Each structure stands twice: as C-alpha cells, then as structure tokens.
Amino acid sequence: MLIDTFGRVATDLRVSLTDRCNLRCTYCMPEEGLQWLAKPDLLTDDEIVRLIRIAVTHLGIEEVRFTGGEPLLRPGIVGIVERVAALEPRPKMSLTTNGIGLKRTATALKAAGLDRVNVSLDTLRPDVFKTLTRRDRHQDVLDGMAAAREAGLTPVKVNAVLMPGLNDDEAPDLLAWAMENEYELRFIEQMPLDAQHGWKREGMITAGDILQSLRTRFTLTEEGQEERGSAPAERWIVDGGPHTVGVIASVTRPFCRACDRTRLTADGQVRTCLFATEETDLRAALRAEDSSDEEVARLWKLAMWGKKAGSGLDDPTFLQPSRPMSAIGG
C-alpha cells in the first residue's frame, strides 16, 4: 500500500511514456521545443511493465493512466497496454493524449485493453489552435477523437485550458460542442508547469471565470463532493442532465487532501505531486544487478510516505518545478 503520513492512499498511477511531443503548446514549452531525454535514460518497455506490475501486485494500484509528453509517440505503446491488461488484478487503463495519433491507433489500443482516453483540445477554431500549439493539426485532433469514440474508448474526456486573449471566450461553445458529440468536457486551470517559467497567477483564467462564462448559456447544478470522491474535477450537471462539465481548479481550489495519485516519469523517477521539487530514482533500482521487486516496492513506499500535505502553490516560498509538464507527465 502506498500511504503517506496524512493517511492518503495512492491507488492511481500516472505513467509518462515519453517526454517528446509533436505540438508546442504555449503553456507547456517554447517554440523550438526542449532537449529530449536520451534513449538510455528512458525506461524500456519491459521496465515500464515491470514497474506497473509491482505497483499493481505489491502496492495496491487500481488505475493506470498513460501520459507524456505525447504517449502515442511511444513506439511500443500498444504492446505495453496489452501486457498491463494481462496483469492480475487487471487495473483500469486510460490515456491522456493530444489526439493527433488517435485515428491511427484507437482501434488497436482498444483491442489491446485500453478502457478510455482523455484528449487535450483548447479551442474549436483552427486558427486559434495553430496559435496555441504552433502546429496546424486541428482537424487531426477532431478526427482522432471521433475514432476513439467509434472504437469504444469511452467516455472520451476533453481537457481544455483557457488562455487570456486567445480562447477565453470559448467556454460555452466548447461545452455545447462536447454535449453534441457525446464527449465529457473538463476545463483545467493553467498551472505553473511551463518550461519557460512564464506562468503568472495574475490574469489567469480561474475556475470562477469559467463557471461565470458557462452560466451565460447553461444552468449548472453542482454534483457534490460525495460523487466526486478523489477525482480532481469538480463536476456540474448541465441543464438538469444527463450531461456534465468538470473544472479542475488546481490553483484556486486545490484538492490535495483527497489526492490518490502517484507518478512515474519517463526516466523512472517517482513523483509524489505534479509540483514536487524532489524525485525518487526507481530506474537505478531496476537496473541494479541484485534488483528485486521487493526493493523497488520499498523505495516506492518510502517516497510516497514523504508526500507533502499540499502543492504549496499558495505559499510565498513556492518554487516552480525545474522539470516541465512534458517531462513529468500530466
């Protein structure tokens, strides 16, 4: 069991399969990209599956989310999903993606055992998409989402970040579109995880701003904490149902007290929180001559035992993590 000193138990594992991405979103990385991890530093497919097996069979993990960078850039992703699906007990599996590669891979991922996907899409306007991502791939994302829905990777959840002066007026349109296409929309506050360290609290689009905008067109009824559980998104029932919309307010309404996540970077580091400034190296333990599952599990437990009470975003001494979102997994 992965328990910390505050009594929280981690049952949800986020696994970054690569730090690489085929977009250059302004809130994530600079236009020229980043210096990617060297191949020897990355976990191999076998090492990833072994760590997930240890997490599931030794540490009580029940859900696995594959992230990146862009996880569909990982050549062995279908095989990894298939091997994890064969574990006993079988964890629930999902994938967070920018959607560009989904049209090509959705059917294979479903056949391998993936349960559902989260797709990042911040705008319905192709020109704004190009400005935000510095790539002209808007239609590819839409096609990928449709392919995921047709393959049965449902519910297809859409993650949207609103940026001042770019797409901050699109919340109602995004929700109407998501409901029409049977997608589940979730807005995410922009977080201080950009490689440029350009994030500023002042002027960011908050959960309150998003809800105020949505209420100009829709009636929202809060679902309530009992239904939310440890999920990061606060959810509202739209116009009496059945559709819902979520808001992940990591900055203004942190949910640290209910956090049930543990994270693995693409190079085998345990992170207790997206905003952690320390990591625990499991890759070295995996590659040691006398490597054992028990020793890896012990190190993992020790790392999670030291998890802090919260993200520290409201602390004047808060330091943005040196590694950006693309390196640590969303």
Annotated binding site for [4Fe-4S] cluster: 21, 25, 28, 256, 259, 273
And the tokens for 24?
């250059």
Residue with tokens 């210096």: 35
CB environment 277-286: b (16+ within 10 A), e (fewer): eebbebbebb
Residue with tokens 């994890």: 84
The order of strands in the sheet holding 244-248 is 220-222, 234-238, 244-248, 184-188, 157-160, 116-120, 92-97, 63-67, 12-16, 261-264, 269-271, 280-281
Binding residue positions for GTP: 14, 65, 96, 157, 261-263
Binding residue positions for S-adenosyl-L-methionine: 27, 69, 120, 191
- Which residues, including other chains, have CB under 8 Å from residue 109's CB and lie 6 or more apart? 77, 78, 81, 95, 117, 151, 153
- For residue 248, how many other CB atoms are within 10 A of its CB? 19
* Cα 246 to Cα 190: distance, rounded to the nearest angstrom: 15
- Determine the angle formed by the axes of helices 138-151 and 102-112, rounding to 10 degrees: 20
* Cα 132 to Cα 189: distance, rounded to the nearest angstrom: 15
Pairing relationship of beta strands 244-248 and 184-188 according to DSSP bridges: parallel
**Whole-number Cα distances in Å, 173 to 121, 168, 179, 307:** 13, 11, 10, 39
CA nearest to 42, candidates 270, 280, 283: 283
Binding residue positions: 14, 21, 25, 27-28, 65, 69, 96, 120, 157, 191, 256, 259, 261-263, 273
